Structure 1
Amino acid sequence: MEKVAEILAEASAEAVEPRFRALADGEVMEKAPGEVVTVADREAEVIISRRLRELLPVPVVGEEAVSADPALARALLDEPAAWLVDPVDGTANFAGGRPDYAVMASLVRSGRTVASWIWQPVTGTAYAAELGSGAWRNGQPLRRPPVTDPSEKWRGFLKSRFLDPAEHRRLRSAATVLGPTATGLGSAGIEYPLVAVGDLEFILYWRTLPWDHSPGSLLVTEAGGVSAHLDGSPYRPTPPGGPDGLLVAADPAVWEQVHAVLTSR
């Protein structure tokens, strides 16, 4: 666990952090409509992928590698084990000089996330989780504090960017019976820990790319929370194009109540 945390922090220090608020012309590119990539993403992924393979020689499913060759993501289903890497989660924030970005990795075995790591460079905060063993923040055990506020005071994010406008409006309207909601911070590696530490009660994500959600989902569940699709099935990392709609919550009771509100018609 400690070795992977070191790999992420060292790759970040080498390829990512020196470019924060210092990207040169031509170092930010559009890889898809509305989605950017930087040289920092690509260089960090190469470094992390190489070192993870040295640690455990299994396929690496990296966000930028899959962007170039989508078939690589099949390793999550076809191989007994695979690494998942998001070299800069929140690239738009990073490219815009905003501090909400993270470096993430996870290990998937037989279709389940068994270990995960999140490094937040700006604050120097490291999160890790291991299936069945718990979650940690900067090496200290992390357990989600109990939810004591009434539901009308719950705090949450509705990540509905990829929904059609009518469904987006319906969700926003339904959520008014809950507490204050926002559209998020643009980085799963920043958002998931907010549920794990007690700063948020829930997050609804729509698109579920595996490198975005595998690390944080394990962190939240090992801290006592829930990460499940809207049909109630627990989150599993799958190649892009898998089931949409993922509700992350502080505990099972919060998940059930938020789910009932958001799916009401």
Structure 2
Amino acid sequence: MNTVAVETAMRQIADQEIRPRFRALAEDDISSKSSPNDLVTVADVEAERALTPLLSAIEDIPVVGEEATELNPALPEVLATASAAWTLDPVDGTWNFAHGSPEYAVMVARVAGGDTDAGWILHPETGDLLRGGRALAPEVVAGDGTVTPIDTVHDAPARPLSQLRGMATLTFAPGPVAEGLAGLTMDVNEITPPRMCAGWDYWDLVTGTLDFLMYFRAKPWDHAPGAAIARALGFTVRHLDGAEYRPGDPGRPFLAARAQEWDALAAAITARAGGAF
């Protein structure tokens, strides 16, 4: 796996197709998908169009991109059947990007045997790139090439729930479940709002700003990269019924947390949701 080529391609397309359009979008450069808050911009489309062939040239495997899936909804099924595939989110956090916030990302993952293999998360406006996977050491690569390893959590002591700070995205939770999970704030130290960009949420998790992440919608391009990196650091990423998160298994809520605390968190979440999982 040529990680240097992946990172070079991500930075190249960010500089060519995304950053020049940041805070420079015309009104007709932005449109909605399934809802008024689900945006797509010309930067999303052009970046995916440019980055897809570069990934295929690095390794000739299917590329499951967010924008390509809009045209072919069956495309993500290949993640469960192909021996290997790429996932691609050309602009994760499009709402932020379209509204002038630097909290957006370019995300790529390699999926092998239906499971996360390696992930890359680039923050174009800072130049920092987070990488990691089964055979890829978790590190931050700055824009100047400086590499900083990330400490693993394999040997971290377990802490009580009352000390944990996390993020829970309840937007797609059924009403009664969302109402029940509002009570999770009584079990943990704090529930923070999402950054509207998984590429920043996972960064917060693996660098210790947050202790857990919970999501209700599992689009593969949003979560395969972060899950690969988090697992390489010793985090557990599972559905609340205990099944391992896999990019080809869409739509089910899942929790990412240190292995030492995952079971207690999952039990608290399930209890608050009335056993709905």
> Same fold per TM (> 0.5)?
yes
Counterpart pick for 1:9 among 8, 11, 26: 11
What residue is the counterpart of 1:154 in the other structure? 164
What residue is the counterpart of 1:91 in the other structure? 94
Counterpart pick for 1:260 among 251, 267, 277: 267
Whether the 8 Å contact between 1:160 and 1:183 is mirrored in structure 2 is: no
Asked if 1:143 is matched to 2:146, the reply is no
Which deviates more from structure 2 when the two are superposed, residues 72-81 or residues 140-149? 140-149
What residue is the counterpart of 1:27 in the other structure? 29
Deviation per CA, 1:21-66: give whole Å up to 9, x if none: 1101200011211311000001100111010111111111100000
Q: CA deviation at 1:81?
A: 1.5
Asked if 1:244 is matched to 2:252, the reply is yes
Deviation per CA, 1:75-108: give whole Å up to 9, x if none: 2123221111000000011001112110000111
Deviation per CA, 1:86-136: give whole Å up to 9, x if none: 000000110011121100001111101211111011222101112144311
Could you say if the C-alpha distance between residues 195 and 83 of structure 1 is closer, same or farther in structure 2, counting changes exceeding 3 Å? same
What residue is the counterpart of 2:227 in the other structure? 217
What residue is the counterpart of 1:71 in the other structure? 74
Counterpart pick for 2:217 among 204, 207, 214: 207
SS in 2 for 1:228: strand
SS in 1 for 2:27: coil
Whether the 8 Å contact between 2:64 and 2:85 is mirrored in structure 1 is: yes
Could you say if the C-alpha distance between residues 32 and 217 of structure 1 is closer, same or farther in structure 2, counting changes exceeding 3 Å? same
Aligned length in residues: 262
What residue is the counterpart of 1:43 in the other structure? 46
Asked if 1:18 is matched to 2:26, the reply is no
Q: CA deviation at 1:144?
A: 3.7
Deviation per CA, 1:144-163: give whole Å up to 9, x if none: 45367643231111101001
- In structure 2, distance between residues paired with 1:6 and 1:99: 20
What residue is the counterpart of 2:144 in the other structure? none
Percent identity for Structure 1 against Structure 2: 34
Q: CA deviation at 1:167?
A: 1.2
SS in 1 for 2:125: coil
- In structure 1, distance between residues paired with 2:168 and 2:225: 19
- In structure 1, distance between residues paired with 2:93 and 2:34: 15
**Stretches of structure 1 lacking an aligned partner (at least 5 in a row):** none
The one-letter code matched in structure 2 to 1:142 is I
Whether the 8 Å contact between 1:158 and 1:203 is mirrored in structure 2 is: yes
The one-letter code matched in structure 2 to 1:258 is L
SS in 2 for 1:157: strand
Relative to the length of structure 2, the TM-score reads 0.90
- In structure 1, distance between residues paired with 2:220 and 2:195: 18
